[in-house]
Amino acid sequence: MVTHNQPEVAVHSIDHFSLIVPDLEVARDFYSEFGLDVSEEDGRLSLKTRGIDHPWGYIYEGKRKKTNYICYGVFERDIEALKNQVTGAGVTLIGPPAQCPVQDAFWFCDPDGNTVGVRVAEKVTPDSKAHHVYKSAPEGQCGALNRRNAPQVRPSRLSHILIFVSDVERSIEFYHQTLGLRLSDVAEDAVAFMHAPYGADHHTLAFAKSDGIGIHHTSWDVSSIDEVGLGAMQMKNAGWLEGWGVGRHVLGSNYFYYVRDPWKSYCEYSFDIDYIPAGSDWKAGHHQGEDSLYLWGEDVPAEFVKSYEFREE
């Protein structure tokens, strides 16, 4: 698996991602109904979460759905060392994507052609795990709201992204040697999960084996399993009927519901994912395929791990 020495420096979080989709109005409807704050600026959509003035995603309009890029954040002290680390791994730097609002990043491609950016940015992942305590209703009181009083689910932050790759082991090595990500867990040659080493969720970036490329899902943190279930209902009531869950993962341990977006990828409501603190001597697990997706929940949809985005000739 990863056999080389630990890289000198690493990224600390995903700063933002970017997609190209055929219809911005459809995208606006979907992400707004998912619970994100969506605004339009300079012909693109910006995706933010409640109470945080940080753009997690930029959506542009184009002929067909395409993952534009994923851009990672690095501490200012590490930017030059990380750039040297990337080029020292034999990777050629490229120019910025044609549709990109940031001018201060450097860019390259992974072995599958996914575009990667790195820029100096504030760390946007938590520095410690949020501890959730379930509080049962006292005797003589109701524990649930009436349906009409159920609030809109609004995620608090981007948790992680899973991308399609053709060779999981190669991708583990590549992202370790370039971005300094560390392996959290792997299940055979099907999926793998990597984290940034400065305090991060169980996975910052994950891989699923596929003939295609691009983003499989973006994952968004919510504050309770109730919010996972309410989010599922919220999207179904809005007409987004395809999805998977509610369930619980083995790798990462989080509760989930995935809703299929208009372009056949997914957005995930995620609650209570494992957290790997800075400096932790986390031992990566090598798991059976049966543990790659879930501990409990509905059967996995037949086309759940299928990419509809392919390499350009």
| Coil/strand/helix, residue 26 | helix
How far apart are alpha carbons 276 and 136 in whole angstroms?
28
- Only one residue has tokens 């372009």, namely 263
pLDDT value at residue 227: 97
Tokens of 223: 């504050």
Q: What is the pLDDT of residues 134-145, one digit of tens each?
A: 778 787 777 777
Q: What is the pLDDT of residues 58-75, one digit of tens each?
A: 999 999 999 999 999 999
Q: What is the pLDDT of residues 27-44, one digit of tens each?
A: 999 999 999 999 999 999
Sign of the Cα torsion 289, 295, 296, 297 reads negative
Report the predicted TM-score, pTM, of the whole model to 2 decimal places. 0.93
- Hey, what domains does the chain have and what are their CATH numbers? 13-126+155-291 (3.10.180.10)
pLDDT value at residue 3: 44
pLDDT bucket at 53, cuts 50 / 70 / 90: very high
- Go through 106-117 and write b for each residue having 16 or more CB atoms within 10 A of its CB, e for each that does not: bbbebebebbbb
How high is the mean pLDDT of the chain?
93
pLDDT bucket at 312, cuts 50 / 70 / 90: low
pLDDT bucket at 151, cuts 50 / 70 / 90: confident
CB-based burial of residue 222 (10 Å sphere; 0-12 exposed, 13-18 middle, 19+ buried)? buried
Residue 295 CA: distances (Å) to CA of 66, 200, 249, 255, 276: 31, 22, 5, 10, 20
Residue 51 pLDDT exceeds 90: no
How far apart are alpha carbons 275 and 282 in whole angstroms?
10
pLDDT value at residue 148: 77
pLDDT value at residue 141: 77
| Coil/strand/helix, residue 222 | coil
Q: What is the pLDDT of residues 154-183, one digit of tens each?
A: 999 999 999 999 999 999 999 999 999 999
pLDDT value at residue 21: 97
Residue 253 pLDDT exceeds 50: yes
pLDDT value at residue 267: 99
- Go through 166-190 and write b for each residue having 16 or more CB atoms within 10 A of its CB, e for each that does not: bebeebbbbbbbbbbbbbbbbbeeb
Residue 311 pLDDT exceeds 70: no
Beta strands (DSSP E) in the chain are 13-21, 37-41, 44-49, 52-61, 66-74, 106-109, 115-120, 157-165, 182-187, 191-195, 200-201, 205-209, 215-221, 243-248, 255-260, 266-271, 275-276, 285-287
Q: Are 190 and 176 in contact (CB under 8 A)?
A: no
The alpha carbon of residue 265 and the mean position of all alpha carbons in its chain are separated, in whole angstroms, by 12
Beta bridge partners of 45: 40, 59
pLDDT bucket at 7, cuts 50 / 70 / 90: confident
Q: Are 250 and 310 in contact (CB under 8 A)?
A: no
| Coil/strand/helix, residue 290 | helix
Q: What is the pLDDT of residues 83-134, one digit of tens each?
A: 999 999 999 999 999 899 999 999 999 999 999 999 999 999 999 888 876 7
Cis amide linkage into residue 246, ω under 30° from 0:
yes
% of the chain residues with pLDDT over 90 = 81
| Coil/strand/helix, residue 218 | strand
Q: Maximum CA pair distance of the chain?
A: 67
Q: What is the pLDDT of residues 192-249, one digit of tens each?
A: 999 999 999 999 999 999 999 999 999 999 999 999 999 999 999 999 999 999 999 9
Phi, psi of 106, rounded to the nearest 5 degrees: -110, 155
Long-range contacts of the stretch 79-82 (C-beta < 8 A, 24+): 79/118, 79/119, 79/120, 81/8, 81/9, 82/9, 82/10, 82/11, 82/118, 82/179, 82/180
